[in-house]
Amino acid sequence: MLFVLIILMSGLCHAGNLTQVEEKISKTAKESTQDAIAFLERTVNINSGTMNHEGVAEVGKLFAKEFESIGFQVKWIPMKEVGRSGHLFAERNGTKGKRLLLIGHLDTVFEKESSFEPYKRSGNRATGQGVNDMKGGDVIALYALKALHQAGALENTSIIVAFTGDEEMSGDPMDVSRKDLLEAANRSDIALGFESAEGLNTGTIARRGISGWTLKVKGIQAHSSGIFTEQSGYGAVFEAARILNAFRQELAGEKHLTFSPGVIVGGTEVTYNSELSSGTAFGKTNVISRTAVVAGDIRCISNEQEEHARERMMKIVSQSLPGTTAEISFDKGYPGMAPKEGNWKLLKFFDQVSRDLGYSPIEPFDPDKRGAADISHVSEKLDCLDGLGAMGNGGHTPEEDIDLDAIPVLLQRAAVLIYRLTNTDLYR
């Protein structure tokens, strides 16, 4: 009996510690590579810059049809209220395994007015608008789920796919534009992000958030010969310079924290348009500056770090030079995704999937090298793992490309990861 039991058990696991079902899923995912690449080409050849609302919706329709074909309930959520196209949500409701939230986005940084770069393949690489960030990642998520569908492994699972239409330039207020994503998180246990993979041996368990700040400074307009006196003060430009230098002295060098003044205008009369990120200045060399405006960003790993940085910045701003006043305001942006224990646990689980498939171990990617992403909005609610998408170079540039040779590996790992989370109790 013992001999028979050993034989029976040996039929469940094969080389690389995959079960028969996992081997089938892995094989199907790998064999779907060319279909995935062909579908990717279709999506890339549609301009879907964030403000090209028709283009974003058109890409959404392509994905919606594919998700419907594998049993997902699909809905398009218009975002006219915040001046954006909309979001695509696809959902399956079940009771088996962990409830997953798969996150991607349909829009790119390449607006309709930009020079159109269609999909173009050269050997094992292809270029095109959003081919890597992040239509390639969306395709990885879709075809991983297709592999599970062909194996019958989607039945009774709970999976929500959320492809936003404005990740590259989010609609404001975010309480509206991210409302549906947050509600989806309330019905989920784990979030998987399909932003770009930074190599085949990394996963993203933390990424910095980003928000904006605007500094406005007032001085006393007077003859320049009186500068530094009690009557005339130091002027707006000197006060702006003091504040910026104090930011550098007191905050620079803190791990995971950066802040950058991106634009400054100063003089007697200034204008600044935050929507256009442009301004004008008028002044004379013999007149003390009356006004200065500085705008920049701040990036942090957590909400706590951001709040602490803001407090120190406000304190610096309040210590005005004689004859000047200043105020600083902060915009609500993308939160940080801190490397909490649950994220580390997910990374370790993904590492085992990769090893069982015969691929490289997985290490955490440096969060300082990643920008903000939608997964950060749900990171306080759920265990999160990002960087499961496509691999390539030149993101946000006309040279953006994708490594086509990496697609089979990425598909297999994503498919088996989703299977184990939704069909087994291995993740506890």
Residue 306, H or E segment: helix 303-318
Residue 140 forms part of a structural domain: yes
Residue 413 forms part of a structural domain: yes
**Same domain flag for 101 and 201:** yes
Please say whether the dihedral angle defined by the alpha carbons of residues 26, 28, 33 and 37, taken in this order, is positive or negative. negative
| Tokens standing for residue 124 | 């094992």
**Same domain flag for 138 and 228:** no
Residue 4 forms part of a structural domain: no
**Of 330, 356, 374, which residue constitutes the final position of a domain?**
330
**Of 306, 330, 354, which residue constitutes the final position of a domain?**
330
Residue 168 forms part of a structural domain: yes
Give the total number of structural domains in the chain: 2
**Closest alpha carbon to 293 in 213, 406, 400:** 213
**Of 277, 303, 330, which residue constitutes the final position of a domain?**
330
> How far is it, in rounded angstroms, from Cα 270 to Cα 283?
9
Q: What is the pLDDT of residue 9?
A: 32
Residue 1 forms part of a structural domain: no
**Same domain flag for 51 and 181:** yes
Q: What is the pLDDT of residue 16?
A: 60
**Same domain flag for 380 and 419:** yes
**Same domain flag for 371 and 419:** yes
pLDDT tens for the 428 residues of the chain, in order? 333 333 333 333 344 689 999 999 999 999 999 999 999 999 999 999 999 999 999 999 999 999 999 999 999 999 999 999 999 999 999 999 999 999 999 999 999 988 888 999 999 999 999 999 999 999 999 999 999 999 999 999 999 999 999 999 999 999 999 999 999 999 999 999 999 999 999 999 999 999 999 999 999 999 999 999 999 999 999 999 999 999 999 999 999 999 999 999 999 999 999 877 889 999 999 999 999 999 999 999 998 999 999 999 999 999 999 999 999 999 988 999 999 999 999 999 999 999 999 999 999 999 998 888 999 999 999 999 999 999 999 999 999 999 999 999 999 999 999 999 999 999 98
Q: CATH code at 294?
A: 3.30.70.360
Distances (CA, A) of 156 to 143, 152, 252: 19, 10, 51
What are the residue ranges of helices labelled H in 81-161? Answer: 135-150
pTM for this predicted structure: 0.88
**Same domain flag for 305 and 345:** no
Residue 6 forms part of a structural domain: no
**Same domain flag for 149 and 197:** yes
DSSP E strand stretches across 239-374: 258-267, 269-273, 278-282, 291-300, 325-330, 363-364
> How far is it, in rounded angstroms, from Cα 51 to Cα 356?
43
**Same domain flag for 108 and 55:** yes
Residue where the block lists tokens 């090298």:
369
Q: CATH code at 113?
A: 3.40.630.10
Residue 41 forms part of a structural domain: yes
**Same domain flag for 36 and 161:** yes
**Same domain flag for 226 and 311:** yes
Residue numbers of the domain that contains 78: 16-207+337-423
**Same domain flag for 262 and 342:** no
Residue 301 forms part of a structural domain: yes
Query: What would the DSSP string read from start to end of 350-399?
Result: HHHHHHHTT----EE--GGG----GGGGGTTTSEEEB--S---S-TTSTT
**Same domain flag for 173 and 223:** no
| Tokens standing for residue 335 | 């939160």
